[in-house]
Structure 1
Amino acid sequence: MDQYLAVLSKYAVFSGRAGRREYWMFLLFNLIFTIVARFVDATSGSEVLFLGMRPISLVYGLAVALPGLAVSVRRLHDIGYSAWWMLLLIVPFIGPVALLVMFCLGGDQGDNKYGPAPAAAAAPAPIAEEAPRPEPPQQNG
């Protein structure tokens, strides 16, 4: 949920990079909230307003459209591609599949021309070394 809220807080930030975890967690929570919104719309008996969407779904969809675009652009930046690659969406069938594959790729290691590596994709924390065991007490006697 933190990743979802982080994306919403950077709703219009198109610079920088977004790691796979940030991107996919946003998409997961977005899917969950969309399903809930559509369920509420369907059970409330509200009218279809635009493109088959009912009021709650429409408002939610409009609210997350810009953050979704921004995190997608930052995800492309993480793998070293410019935002222009989002235009693949206009190519039927092949474009969205190509973008899906690109979004699954691992990000560039270290800094790239779009900025430093996302914090979540930074080097993993070192594994803690096992603490030395105390010597057993010596018995006098």
Structure 2
Amino acid sequence: MTSGRMGRQRWWLMTVVLWGVATFLLFSLVAFLASTGRVNEYAFLVLFYAILLVPFIVLPAYVIWLLISIRRWHDLGQSGWWNLILVVPGGLLVGLIVLGFVPGDEGTNSFGAPIVGRRTSPVPDQPRVMPVRQGKDRPFGRALR
């Protein structure tokens, strides 16, 4: 899971989905614990269980996110040890900016070939031309002339 490279778009998608699911689970947990109807009587108990169970949702999500981020660091040509910046207070913002907005290496680096779909060669001289259909069988009739 930590070998290879990952582009910005996939990293953002996986980050948003992962933390979206974790947030949904946390809100569901709090809503379930508070659904007794006696929130005032059991408020301390609901808060206690919520605090007790939060690490079972947040910590696995954080570990998975760190593993995903290692592949993004590899795309930047850096070691996965740069994830330590994400643990340091204040470093999380810097790490998010670097991981989320700095483009990865264009060519092959020490962590492998570039991501499939990334353009690594110059634009060809001849543009790619799509064939045009002629006649009455054109979709949308005469509107596309």
CA distance in 2 between partners of 1:18 and 1:28 (Å): 15
Identity fraction in percent: 26
The match for 1:129 is 129
Encode CA deviations 1:94-133: one digit per residue, 9 max, x unaligned.
x1122112102111112111111122x5229x98522045
| 2:93 alignment partner AA | V
Does the Cα contact within 8 Å between 2:25 and 2:57 map onto a contact in 1? Answer: yes
CA distance in 2 between partners of 1:53 and 1:21 (Å): 33
Residue 64 of structure 1, aligned match among 52, 61, 64: 61
Encode CA deviations 1:46-68: one digit per residue, 9 max, x unaligned.
4535xx6453x433334333321
The match for 1:36 is 24
Pick closer, same or farther for the CA change 1:90–1:26 going to 2, 3 Å: closer
Residue 80 of structure 2, aligned match among 83, 89, 92: 83
Does the Cα contact within 8 Å between 1:78 and 1:107 map onto a contact in 2? Answer: yes
The match for 2:95 is 99
Count of residue pairs the alignment pairs up: 118
Encode CA deviations 1:13-34: one digit per residue, 9 max, x unaligned.
2221111112111111122212
Which sections of structure 2, spanning at least 5 residues, go unmatched?
A: 34-45, 136-145
